[in-house]
A and B are shown apart, each in its own frame.
Chain A
């Protein structure tokens, strides 16, 4: 297995534990991106080990720091709970004893002015994370490469349109997965690409028929 030089010597992050802080910040950041920017209101629920030890590890500050758009190496993460109200973000923290497959699990509902997202993320160690659920649909997003998340209608041809457009721009798709609640309903397409995606490309994808929204998560 390949490991990056700066995975061994890193990440550079606020302490005290890369899974409880760096990973948690990243999940918060992704919720912010998927919610469409400045988060006005967020409900954060911790499960498993996160629920038991979030206070001692500062996982609450880490998630809120991410929701505020801070990077994991930003010292302001430490003070995120007091910064949030100053930035007009209302945060509710909850714990749940419901069983989850992974001990470090957090569920976030985040609302911006015009949009919102509901997602579940797990922190799998060393600051690495996976998003396991978006809007009630099971996904598996590792966020290790450049990731495109496409919200679309489950109709024939949408995948071809999206992949065709990427191919025409010489963007290679490394992995692709699809999920839907039921036939013809809202669906989510997750693509990992070898190349960075410019915002113009993202906007072009968003204009394709039956594509509702496209989010790009740049490589860490």
Chain B
């Protein structure tokens, strides 16, 4: 699909009198010589893989290859189930599934890189929780995935989805923006509200460093996935309340690109700055790889 801007997506919804997800569906069919049925088949495969990763992340409790992380998803899941969580049922479930997916990722389990492996927990966390709490059908979720992918395609077109190019704002920030738009749509938000949700989410991630300890997708990535899924839901909630983003989504994405260019390479996935170069980060690196 080729989606040049958020503005284009919104204009298409008005021109064709259709929802956002349909714009994305049509663009993909036009660009890839594929069919509607084939796309939904693959969306179902994708969502099934997301559910499986979240489930196995909680039940397997596997440690990561480096041994730095693991078991937190199960810990949080049982805490949330005991009714002590400060968050709503929706949010506490989203946190559990996002952590679980990211732990599954760190232990070489199978995940959907949506949009990247490092940010793979955010979207499944919110979508699976929303389905469980509100009873959405798989088709509803597939349509939310389409709208989310449309947002991701625009970010990819105008900026980047890679931490090495634009830092973590491009990975967890993009995932949060995509998720916010999808959740807003599931809850009945208008196309404009969905895009305001995305803009609000991305604005709050601008400048986010990609500085993982030992260069591995574990610290701070796993817990960040758990927190950013809530914050995507929060952004959708603001938009559903009628709150607009003062800066339009397209301009937020443009500024994300510019900020990415301004960021030092040491906080763009190189593991040479930020948390990676703390005393603890350096010690962990030495322990895992046996050198400084």
Contact = CB atoms under 8 A, between A and B. Distances in A.
Interface string A52-96: 110111100100000000000111011000000000000000000
Nearest to B28: A5
B289 A56 contact: yes
Contacts of A3: 1-2, 153, 156-157
Contacts of A12: 45-46, 49, 110-113
A7 to B, nearest CB: 8
Contact of B116 (A5, A61, A73, A126): A126
Nearest to B108: A78
Contacts, number: 134
B5 interface: no
Contacts of B279: none
A5 B214 contact: no
A107 to B, nearest CB: 21
A115 to B, nearest CB: 30
A49 B214 CA distance: 11
Nearest to B222: A16
Interface stretch (A17-25, A29-37, A184-192, A204-212): A17-25
A78 B109 contact: yes
Interface in B190-230: 214-218
Interface string B99-133: 00000111111111111111010000000000000
Which 5 pairs of residues, A with B, have the shortest CB-CB distance? A15-B105, A8-B152, A16-B217, A78-B108, A8-B149
Interface of B: 1-2, 24, 28, 31-32, 39, 42-43, 45-46, 49, 64-66, 104-118, 120, 145-146, 148-149, 152-153, 156-157, 161-162, 164, 214-218, 271, 288-289
Interface of A: 1-6, 8-18, 21-22, 49, 52-53, 55-58, 61, 73-75, 77-78, 125-127
